[in-house]
A = this chain, B = another copy of it.
Amino acid sequence: MGTAQFDRIALIGIGLIGSSIARGVREKGLAREIVISTRSLDTLKRAEELQLGDHYTPSTAEAVKDADLVIVSVPVGASESVAMQIAAHLKPGAIVTDVGSTKASVIAQMAPHLPSHVHFIPGHPLAGTENSGPDAGFADLFKGRWCIFTPLPDTDPNALARLVAFWEALGSKTDQMEPEHHDKVLAIVSHLPHIIAYNIVGTADDLAAVTESEVIKYSASGFRDFTRLAASDPTMWRDICLHNKDAILEMLARFSEDLASLQRSIRWGEGDKLFELFSRTRTVRRSIIDAGQDVNVPDFGRHSLDKKA
């Protein structure tokens, strides 16, 4: 147990991210008390069964009372509603942060409602798995992953430093950027890949010429890599699409242009162009492995895991 960084942490939302924070905070002793609040009574009950916190309440207003750190971990489309519920009950000097995958929209939804006597510091831990809900979380989820902050112009540097220290204690590497730049970066590294994955899995699922059982049976030849992303939480991803619309539409337009050109190369048998693209992309994976952002084992190490099983 380290030294508690906060007396009381309120977690609004206790899904994959919220429950991973709860477990991490417990494991590292980062707070004296954890208060958990979520709208669904079933989820709240499950969080209590898993002993993720010290207090449990369906009332977000009650949860944030006396909390020094409030972390909002809900689908981004629910941010404004949460801000309105908690605004009047926040302790002066409290830090309010979130974990949303889009930042400009979350700021637009929350900032106008929050009182000036709290520190609102938007954040986004780039961590997750395809599973969701309080059972899916684990304390190591943030280990070695980036957490990006998009502080507002008037953010108090001391409050920011405390929040950075908190996420680093959970194992994150931290970074800062403008909200609009965050939304562009995430549109390409996360939102576009998820949307494309959802789309290709949908296309395959619709095919009559090839039966669904064949798609499943032979999925190891490439298709299955997409199904992991396409198994992510539907509510979360609906909200991301609606709340980072402009950046996503721009990336989709670029992707579609490039795909049209690739399709043309296939139709006209332009082998050299295909070879050039297929060679160029190969080096990108090498860079990702060198940067420590993926495991350096073929096939994501599925063979090693098969053997263990």
The segment from A4-12, A105-113, A212-220 that touches chain B is A212-220
| Complex interface residues of chain A between 277 and 309 (CB less than 8 A to chain B) | 277-282, 284-288, 291, 293-295, 297-306, 308-309
- CA–CA, A31 and B123, complex, Å: 60
Decide: B305 and A304 in contact? CB cutoff 8 A. Answer: yes
Decide: B237 and A274 in contact? CB cutoff 8 A. Answer: yes
Decide: A238 and B275 in contact? CB cutoff 8 A. Answer: yes
Q: Copies per complex?
A: 2
Binding site secondary structure of chain A: helix
Most buried by B among A126, A231, A260: A231
The verdict on A152 contacting chain B, using a C-beta distance below 8 Å, is no
The verdict on A3 contacting chain B, using a C-beta distance below 8 Å, is no
Question: Closest CB of chain B to A101's CB: distance in Å?
Answer: 8
The verdict on A190 contacting chain B, using a C-beta distance below 8 Å, is yes
- A-to-B contact residues, CB < 8 Å: 126-131, 136, 138, 140, 143-146, 148, 184-186, 188-207, 209-210, 212, 214-232, 234-235, 237-238, 241-242, 245, 248-249, 251-252, 254-256, 258-260, 262-263, 265-267, 269, 271, 274-275, 277-282, 284-288, 291, 293-295, 297-306, 308-309
